[in-house]
Amino acid sequence: MGEEALTPAAGTPRPKYRMPAEWEPHEATWIGWPHNRSDWPGKFAAIPWVYGEIVRKIAAGETVRILVQSKAHEAKALRLFARAAVDLSRIAFFRIPTDRGWTRDFGPIFVRRDRPKREVAVAGFRFNAWARYPDWRNDDRVSARAAAALGLRRIRPLVRNREVVLEGGAIEVNGRGTLIATEECLLDPVVQARNPGMSRGDLEAVFGSTLGATNVIWLGRGIAGDDTHGHVDDLCRFTGPKTVVLCREKDPKDDNHRALEANRERLASARLEDGSRLEVVPLPMPAPLRFDGIRLPASYANFYVCNAAVLVPTFNDPNDRAALGILSELFRDRPVVGIHAVDLVWGFGTLHCLTQQQPAIFSGKGSPALSPGSLPGRMASLYIPDSRRASPCPIPYRRSARS
């Protein structure tokens, strides 16, 4: 359907598009099949099996659209799925090359509008590897190529004729008009600055015009060990239109304690889009998890809400049970399932970082466009020509390398 440039305008009475909440009905979930061994040095062999379990759980309730590098890469995934009892009728492969597998951040951010007709579109934000790492050009093209493959409109937010860099893990929405982000991630003018020269007001205008966010709550810092420099999806998540969970660290000597308490104070005075107060539910942190002397961003807040379940990362920690219990009380409409994430978090991300939801075009239950059966065959595979593939990085490195 082509592209549409979208420049935020002051005083716009009603946002044209909105980003639905994660718990609203999905048409599909997008995930990139792992291939970059430098993301999990020494642990990569276990990672595809964790992905397989994630895909199996998601496929119980929706299509899983999987980004693969090639036909051979697709075949590897299929062999694993056959052993892991994955429902292949819910799998669709897209041969769109990526640099790594953190689909939440570079994948298509889907938005919806109801007028003049119901439509799902892709918000065309740019990706630059968290303003930190050198190989991102394939990842940066995924959003546009996915939109083209699905025949969806792609809207490009512009600020003073500049495109906007934004990762999906940097924002959290309730689908009603409130968005949560951190100042550390999006407003730091020096460290991992995504959009130098863009102000708080500029970004809030973009959030309003592109994501339907009329109300933005700014938190301070993210959690220790997060190489994205403060993603909100490791910290604070909506579990309903008026309820969030916020990570809490009771140990005053822990690096996370002070920052999390400061964020709790901010939320205590925050208001939702209708002027009401948030209900803030504390979510415990696991004990600090380290590998090779490096603090890892282990957090129960990195859960993913799919149609069939809420998938929660677990860490062989006594607080696993408490976190699962809290989230079970908050998500009573679907089961809450723990996914072992000790190996996964060595890549500096877990379940939410790997996934990106595609909302159903209808807000209620039904058979939205591009449902599993709308692609030919029992299992679908779509090849996207790679005429502009970037050269590989000439030296080995890993996402978690410290600069």
Predicted pLDDT at 378: 40
* Residue 216: pLDDT band with limits 50, 70, 90: very high
**Residue 31 one-letter amino acid:** I
Q: What is the pLDDT of residue 6?
A: 73
Residues 253-310: tens digit of each pLDDT? 999 999 999 999 999 999 999 999 999 999 999 999 999 899 999 999 999 999 999 9
Which of the following is catalytic: 236, 247, 306, 353? 353
The pLDDT, as a whole number, for residue 89 is 97
Q: In this structure, is residue 34 part of a structural domain?
A: yes
The larger pLDDT score, comparing residue 357 to residue 132, is at 357
- Does residue 11 belong to any structural domain of this protein? no
pLDDT of 115: 80
pTM for the whole structure:
0.90
Closest CA to 213 of 105, 120, 123, 103: 123
Tokens of 28: 């599909």
Domain count, the chain: 1
Q: Which domain, by its residues, includes 42?
A: 16-383
Lowest mean pLDDT, pick from 142-156, 317-331, 332-346, 366-380 = 366-380
Distance between CA atoms of residues 66 and 43, nearest Å? 22
Q: How far apart are CA 84 and CA 187, in angstroms?
A: 43
pLDDT per position as a tens digit, 88-97: 999 999 999 9
For residue 164, is it within any domain?
Answer: yes
Whether 252 is covered by a domain: the verdict is yes
Confidence of residue 4 (pLDDT cuts 50, 70, 90): confident
**CATH code of residue 107:** 3.75.10.10
7 inside domain: no
Local confidence band at 398 (pLDDT 50, 70, 90 cut-offs): very low
How is residue 273 written in tokens?
A: 């889009």
- Beta bridge partners, 244, equal 238, 280
- Known catalytic residue at 353: yes
- Give the residue among 1, 21, 16, 6 at the shortest CA–CA distance from 306: 21
Whole-number pLDDT of residue 204: 98
Determine, yes or no, domain membership for 237.
Answer: yes
Is 166 part of any domain?
yes
**Alpha carbon of 164 to those of 179, 198, 201, 289, 335: distances in Å?**
17, 9, 13, 34, 36
Angle at CA 319, nearest 5°, toward 314 and 325?
Answer: 85
295 belongs to a structural domain: yes
